[in-house]
Amino acid sequence: MPLSVEIITPEGKLLEVDDATHVLLPGSNGQIGILPGHSPLASSLDVGLIDIDRQAEESELLSTSGGFVEVHSDHVMVLAETAERADEIDVERAERALERAKEQLHRVEETERAELESAIARANTRLRAARSK
């Protein structure tokens, strides 16, 4: 039996499929691969790509800035801080965000660097997703 997958963001339900054969997620402690019949799991997610192989349809590729995943009874529920489908990513916006954060990185104190490094990781992940499609 295939997996059902739901991806929910603060803005609402971004994606729902019921024919996934494999789901790859950016777990905080490394990549998480889910196949049908996986044992129950809960994990936080890091910034990265979510790749969903489907039975009959083309695979789905998304970027996320992190969140949480729960797997139970062949259902994969992702609660994401932000997530975008690869083909809905605004490449120019991500490029601008990347340039802005890189430029600011040179000028800020050590204590302010973490937020800029997160912004760089988000933008790079969006660009990777958009360019993989």
**Binding pattern to ligand ATP, positions 14-33, x when CB under 6 A?**
--------------------
Q: What are phi and psi of 46, to 5 degrees?
A: -100, 175
Q: Is residue 125 involved in binding ligand ATP (CB under 6 A)?
A: no
- Give the Cα separation of 123 and 108 in Å (integer): 19
Q: Is residue 49 involved in binding ligand ATP (CB under 6 A)?
A: no
Yes or no: say if 18 and 6 are a contact pair by the CB < 8 Å rule: no
From 30-38, 47-55, 90-98, 106-114, span contacting ligand ATP (CB under 6 A): 90-98
From 26-34, 68-76, 93-101, 107-115, span contacting ligand ATP (CB under 6 A): 93-101
- One of 82, 85, 105, 121 touching ligand ATP (CB under 6 A): 82
Nearer to ligand ATP, 32 or 94 (CB): 94
Copy the structure tokens of residue 41: 């799991």
Please list, in sequence order, all residues whose beta carbon lies within 8 angstroms of the beta carbon of residue 67, skipping any fewer than 6 positions away: 44, 45, 78, 79, 80, 81, 83
